Amino acid sequence: MAEPDTAEQQREQLNTGTKAVAESHRFDEQRLLGWMQANVEGFEGPLEVRQFKGGQSNPTYQLVTPTKTYVMRRKPPGKLLPSAHAVDREYKVITALYPTGFPVARSYGLCTDDAVIGTWFYVMDMVEGRILWDQSLPGYEPAERHAIFMAKLKTLADLHNTDYAAIGLADFGRPGNYFGRQVDRWSKQYRASETDKIETIDKLMDWLPQTLPADDLTSIVHGDYRLDNMVLHATEPRVIAVLDWELSTLGNPLADFTYLLMNWVNGTVSTIPDLKAHGIPTLDEYVAEYCRLTGRDALPDLNWYFAYNGFRLAGILQGIVGRVRDGTANSPQAAAMADRVPLLGEMAWNFAKKAGAK
């Protein structure tokens, strides 16, 4: 097999498909079978358990039966950071969204009894379709690329336009001061996982709380909304499932949207010389369409948000580095995250300076 020639292709190879269950994530499959028989509507065994290759955080399994395939997400075993790996929150949000027609997998049950497999878990449908890893979408025509990018944006706007209280999610988070709480959360989690002193991260921890923007709206936020966290229809430019809701909560929708925009300033899209010829909307076009879909007139200066997103991502990756230190990381590639943390700190601080930091 030829070696993958881009970082995205490497990620795709490392994260696509299933493998035998890792030794550190094995459990009593007969106990799971009994739980499935008692709690999953229409379930019929026998049951084969495989583990998905992807996922740095919550181990994810494919549960295969003769007539149907399911997916199980569980908390990892071992020492965990406070509030991390909240599979119960994932289950709650997809269960609330599914009846609205928003593209999520159907959920079947949540288990909070550690005696079954050792940690909490939930079971949902396996949604078949395309998961696209390379944001530049090689192999697609410009019109197809454009349609996929706009479908991704429309789906995010639909999430932000959802009446969260009407679907039973009024208690899914605290409205207001979202960015302040997020900066505090990721600062604490970063400190809990810290392995090296990084000056730019320290400066961001000081500057971000002092310069918080107004929190003007509250919506459901996904928390990690990107192309490879969704399943597209096999042939149509349509999102049929949004995956990985571990970081979802009630918060400011601009957190999600500006995270998506990071691709234009520090990601694959930023490396494409002629976006129009490639079929990908410019950052300004994407902003204008998001504003149209969500009823906004315009967005504020984005540099603070880009600094925040870089800092937050550094905190997430440092959490993975901390799990390597503690022996609970799910991926052999997790150690490579340590090299990315200072680069993200530098990038975020450069945006902070554009936003007025000294």
Q: Indicate the pLDDT class of residue 265, thresholds 50, 70 and 90.
A: very high
Q: Is the pLDDT of residue 13 over 50?
A: yes
Rounded-to-integer distance, Cα 355 and Cα 358, Å: 9
pLDDT tens per residue, range 202-242: 999 999 999 999 887 999 999 999 999 999 999 999 999 99
More confident residue, 75 or 104: 104
Whole-number pLDDT of residue 12: 56
Average pLDDT over residues 98-124: 97
Q: Is the pLDDT of residue 285 over 70?
A: yes
More confident residue, 291 or 323: 291
Whole-number pLDDT of residue 56: 54
Partners of 219 in beta bridges: 251
Q: Is the pLDDT of residue 171 over 70?
A: yes
Average pLDDT over residues 80-91: 75
For residues 94 and 56, the answer to whether their CB atoms sit within 8 Å is no
- Amino acid (one-letter) located at 124: M
Whole-number pLDDT of residue 352: 98
Rounded-to-integer distance, Cα 129 and Cα 34, Å: 29
Q: Indicate the pLDDT class of residue 1, thresholds 50, 70 and 90.
A: very low
Q: Which residue has the tokens 């490879």?
A: 228
Q: pTM for this one?
A: 0.89
Rounded-to-integer distance, Cα 306 and Cα 312, Å: 10
Classified as helix, coil or strand, 327 is: coil
Average pLDDT over residues 118-126: 96
Whole-number pLDDT of residue 299: 94
Length of the chain, please? 358
Q: Is the pLDDT of residue 339 over 90?
A: no
Q: Where are the domains of the chain?
A: 7-125, 164-225+245-276+295-354
Distances 215 to 186, 212, 234 between C-alpha atoms, Å: 18, 9, 38
Q: Going by DSSP bridges, is the β-strand pair 48-52/60-64 parallel, antiparallel, or unpaired?
A: antiparallel
Phi, psi at 50, each rounded to 5°:
-125, 160
Whole-number pLDDT of residue 81: 53
Whole-number pLDDT of residue 17: 83
Range of weakest confidence among 95-99, 100-104, 234-238, 267-271? 267-271
Query: For residue 344, what are its two tokens?
Result: 């993200």
Q: Which residue has the tokens 């430019």?
A: 237
Query: For residue 63, what are its two tokens?
Result: 């549960």
Q: Indicate the pLDDT class of residue 345, thresholds 50, 70 and 90.
A: very high
| Topology, domain 7-125 | Phosphorylase Kinase; domain 1 (3.30.200)
Q: Is the pLDDT of residue 176 over 90?
A: no
pLDDT tens per residue, range 31-71: 999 999 999 999 999 999 999 986 557 899 999 999 999 99
| Topology, domain 164-225+245-276+295-354 | Aminoglycoside 3'-phosphotransferase; Chain: A, domain 2 (3.90.1200)
Work out the percent of the chain whose per-residue pLDDT is above 90: 78
If we measure between CA atoms, which residue out of 258, 255, 260, 266 comes closest to residue 183? 255
Query: For residue 295, what are its two tokens?
Result: 């009823």
If we measure between CA atoms, which residue out of 257, 254, 252, 184 comes closest to residue 219? 252
Average pLDDT over residues 318-335: 74
Query: For residue 119, what are its two tokens?
Result: 């940690």
pLDDT tens per residue, range 305-323: 999 999 999 998 998 888 7
